[in-house]
Amino acid sequence: MENNSNFLTYFNKTSKAFNLEYLFLFTLLLSITACTSKNYEEPKIALDTYHIEKGFTLQVAASEPFIEAPVTMDFDNTGRMWVVEMKGYMQNLAGSGDHMPNGTITILEDLDQDGVADHSKIFMDSLVLPRAIAHVYGGLLYAEPPNLWFVDIENDKPVNKVLVDSLYSDGGNVEHQPNGLMMHLDNWIYNAKSNFRYRLKNNQWIKAPTTFRGQWGITKDNFGRLYYNTNSRQLLGDYVLPNTVVKNQFYKPKSLLNKILTPNQRVYPLHPTAVNRGYQKGVLDADSLLINVTSACGPLIYRGDKFPADYLENAFICAPEANIVKRNVLNVEADKVSAEQAIPNKEFIASTDEGFRPVNLFNGPDGNMYVVDMHRGIIQDKAFLTPYLQKLYAKKQLDTIIGMGRILKVTHTSSKQEAFINVEEQSVSKLVALLKHKNGWIRDRAQQVLIQKKEPKSISLLKKILNNETSSAESKLHALYTLDGINALSYEVLEQVLYIEQSANVISHAILLMEQFASQDRAMSIAKIVNHLALKNNPTIDLYVLSALGDWMAFSKDQLFPLVQELSLKYKDQLTYQEALISSLRGHEESYKVFLGETLETPEQSTIAQVLNNTISNKAKNKRNIIFTAKKPQADNRIAGYNIFRNLCATCHGVEGEGIESLAPPLQNSEYVTESSERLALVILHGLSGPIHVNGDLYDLNIAMPGLANNPEFTDEDIQSIIEYLRNAFPGKTKNISIDKIRSLREQKPIDGLGFTEEELLKVK
């Protein structure tokens, strides 16, 4: 069997580690993969320790022995579940064997149609820590670090394998690598923990910069805003549609992207849980219950049609360390989004089962919500596992909860479960009709199948949706982007939409799509459209008009400058609108400054003055938004230190040490990096607990940086290499440090033995 030969190759290359333990695992894996499918009686899993919000029911849709360690999933067009199994993740407290090629992508089927999987089929095996999949373009996109691959599917087998990106997850810890692969309304595929998006167009894969977002999991609302999180911030998001305000390479927006949406990070577990920093003050309450989230992941905006109306577009969030799933209610304004706990002091799902590890959430083709439960005891990677948590895991014997995994389905008791709509079998006319469906999953997949088919007869049907005033805003958005996806969208179609449409959401998308048709002969036309839209006096429309004129400026700036100035003045004190404008002014900042003349520095223009002058200054210095800069190591011969930094430190502090909002402070201009090699070594060895000040700014992130002293994978030479790289990358007063000194600093432990505080470190010179 070809897959088995992959295992033999692996073990031949790693003969030093080939012992009885691996021999046993190898034999076991051979027995599992010898047959590509499994049939079992449906397992009976008790959920009596699980509590769910009133009116909802929780059932097991799939479980062991069909799946193990699931981390994400997707549905194909026929409604089958495809599950990514990361079997190599933390099989024991030492984390050994994580590079074994034992990961799989498995197809789950419910042959007796009772809602529970009773058959499994291996689509692909011999994978090392696979982490993401997406059914797109009639095939499967999947991530196996460091590569992103695409394969066609024939008879449930992968064929025609294509390498999409060899650097998809280049370096980084397993908990801090890109993931998500979410096909979006705009026909781009977005990711978490990444500043790139992907698209297949004209048979060519395109990789393009986008905003860096989140850590694990990504989701969207019906309008098209993106949502994500980090382990200590339950919900983050963008106030605007993706890539609308980052088109100016010399300005990095501050007010519209990567915003914390939840005012607090409270969690309400049913029992004391094992968390990585439970020893720190403020992490646990007097009853040893977790106070704030520490492992938020897998967010979902519910877009199905089986929950009550007031649950539509609620934000659900996984907190596996507390064995819960949270629910938040979104509040959406023109240039702001916020979220708050749905029911005070109570979680949507909570369990006393410490094996319940929800890591991802998904809308289903049946309109229900699905929970990917990794179901295991250890949920912290070895690189960040503190001695405190390691001992607690061992004491509770949580390391023995292994080899399991579940997919749970959430339904509402009032909903009628209907026959699944097989998108694969629908005619073009029926697919267009499905763009009106109340279930967002159905609309999304119908759009993509229509784009894949590229049937000319769909064009007139799509235009009918746009011209029908009774069509929902959601159906019109899908119609617009389906036309765009099959290269059938035109300036004339968009012009008509912008003049007759009443929905601010549809108008906002249409004006963005209009930018691709910018030309000299349409200069007067776009000016009339902008003036027409300004008369609507709608803050949402105004925001997108300001952000969507960049490609028109070269042809129409004489007509557009007065119009955008009027809109800019209308929102003169709101940074959000001025940042939208600066995105459109790319390449024309100086001309606009001349146009404004003396009015630029007056008080009513102070916000736009700051943004405009900052952009012009960045342009003069060739200082670009980091998403547009090449991710290469600085000129430095300390490659070993850079490689460790890129794989470990950069996942939180950023590739260029710029810091990541809500995750870690910057290393640039940090006194912890530039002032003392000994202080820096202590931080790297033993970790750092906040709050801390960096370059005069307070960072109180309620998280702590783990040290490497207890990680046997990092030697004294590795610590020295990291320091030497940092000294070169962020020069200051630091001096060379010897191996002997690093060895001695291993014994200079913090007072609590768990992590240095700012007060302790500042005493080190």
pLDDT the model gives residue 293: 96
pLDDT the model gives residue 32: 42
Answer whether 164's CB lies under 8 Å from 150's CB.
yes
pLDDT the model gives residue 359: 98
Contacts of 554 (CB under 8 A, 6+ apart): 518, 587, 588
Q: Is the pLDDT assigned to residue 25 strictly greater than 70?
A: no
Please give the average per-residue pLDDT across 102-108, as a whole number.
97
Q: Which CATH number does the domain housing residue 374 bear? A: 2.120.10.30
pLDDT the model gives residue 635: 37
Domain boundary among 595, 621, 647: 621
Least confident of 117-131, 166-180, 338-352: 166-180
Q: Is the pLDDT assigned to residue 10 strictly greater than 60?
A: no
pLDDT the model gives residue 709: 84
**Residues 708 and 609 reside in one and the same domain:** no
Report in angstroms the alpha-carbon separations of 723 from 632, 650, 685, 720, 735: 18, 14, 11, 5, 10
Beta bridge partners of 207: 198
Q: Is the pLDDT assigned to residue 580 strictly greater than 70?
A: yes
pTM of the model: 0.85
pLDDT the model gives residue 37: 59
Report in angstroms the alpha-carbon separations of 410 from 30, 269, 373, 521, 724: 35, 19, 13, 54, 52
Contacts of 521 (CB under 8 A, 6+ apart): none
**Residues 552 and 647 reside in one and the same domain:** no
Q: Which CATH number does the domain housing residue 729 bear? A: 1.10.760.10
Please give the average per-residue pLDDT across 251-275, as a whole number.
96
DSSP string computed for 614-678: HHHHHHHHT---GGGS-----S-S-HHHHHHIIIIIHHHH-TTS--BTTTB--STT-HHHHS-HH
pLDDT band at 667; cut points 50, 70, 90: confident
Examine residue 711 and state whether it is found in any structural domain, yes or no: yes
Task: Give, for 39, the enclosing helix (H) or strand (E).
Answer: strand 37-39
Q: Is the pLDDT assigned to residue 12 strictly greater than 50?
A: no
pLDDT band at 671; cut points 50, 70, 90: confident
Report in angstroms the alpha-carbon separations of 458 from 370, 428, 431, 455: 32, 6, 9, 6
> Among 165, 349, 374, which residue's Cα sits nearest to residue 267?
349
Q: How many CA atoms lie within 13 A of 210 on its CB side?
A: 24
**Residues 238 and 153 reside in one and the same domain:** yes
**Residues 73 and 42 reside in one and the same domain:** yes
Least confident of 23-27, 264-268, 731-735: 23-27
SS3 of 372, please? strand
Please give the average per-residue pLDDT across 273-295, as a whole number.
92
Please give the share of the chain, as a percent, with pLDDT higher than 90: 69
**Residues 454 and 363 reside in one and the same domain:** no
Examine residue 200 and state whether it is found in any structural domain, yes or no: yes
Examine residue 424 and state whether it is found in any structural domain, yes or no: no
**615/162 Cα distance (integer angstroms):** 40
pLDDT the model gives residue 602: 65
The string of pLDDT tens digits covering residues 130-168 is 999 999 999 999 999 999 999 999 999 999 999 999 999
Contacts of 73 (CB under 8 A, 6+ apart): 81, 82, 83, 84, 133, 360, 362, 370, 372, 407
DSSP state of 277: T
The string of pLDDT tens digits covering residues 443-468 is 999 999 999 999 999 999 999 999 99
Q: Which CATH number does the domain housing residue 446 bear? A: 1.25.10
Q: Is the pLDDT assigned to residue 340 strictly greater than 60?
A: yes
Answer whether 283's CB lies under 8 Å from 755's CB.
no
Examine residue 64 and state whether it is found in any structural domain, yes or no: yes
The string of pLDDT tens digits covering residues 383-431 is 778 888 999 999 999 999 999 999 999 999 999 888 889 998 999 999 9
Q: Is the pLDDT assigned to residue 2 strictly greater than 50?
A: no
**Residues 634 and 534 reside in one and the same domain:** no
Residue with tokens 């007759």: 500
**Residues 441 and 399 reside in one and the same domain:** no
Domain boundary among 600, 621, 642: 621
DSSP string computed for 530-598: HHHHHTT--HHHHHHHHHS-GGGHHHHHHHHHHHHHHHHHHTTT-HHHHHHHHHHTTT-HHHHHHHHGG
Q: Is the pLDDT assigned to residue 366 strictly greater than 60?
A: yes
Q: Is the peptide bond before 145 cis (omega within 30 degrees of 0)?
A: no
Examine residue 745 and state whether it is found in any structural domain, yes or no: yes
Q: Name which residue leads in pLDDT, 409 or 24.
A: 409
pLDDT band at 633; cut points 50, 70, 90: very low
Examine residue 425 and state whether it is found in any structural domain, yes or no: no
DSSP string computed for 391-404: HHHHHHTGGG--S-
**354/78 Cα distance (integer angstroms):** 34
**Residues 699 and 741 reside in one and the same domain:** yes
Q: Is the pLDDT assigned to residue 320 strictly greater than 80?
A: yes
Q: Is the pLDDT assigned to residue 18 strictly greater than 70?
A: no
Answer whether 675's CB lies under 8 Å from 698's CB.
no
**594/430 Cα distance (integer angstroms):** 54
> Residue 643 is part of which domain span?
630-761
**Residues 539 and 565 reside in one and the same domain:** yes
pLDDT band at 605; cut points 50, 70, 90: low
CB-CB neighbours of 161 under 10 Å: 11
**Residues 237 and 254 reside in one and the same domain:** yes
Total domain count, the chain? 3
Q: Is the pLDDT assigned to residue 7 strictly greater than 90?
A: no
Domain boundary among 621, 644, 672: 621
Examine residue 24 and state whether it is found in any structural domain, yes or no: no
**Residues 363 and 478 reside in one and the same domain:** no
Examine residue 573 and state whether it is found in any structural domain, yes or no: yes
> Considering just the CA atoms, what is the radius of gyration of the chain in Å?
27
**Residues 572 and 540 reside in one and the same domain:** yes
Q: Name which residue leads in pLDDT, 132 or 40.
A: 132
Please give the average per-residue pLDDT across 576-583, as a whole number.
97
What's the mean per-residue pLDDT of the chain?
89
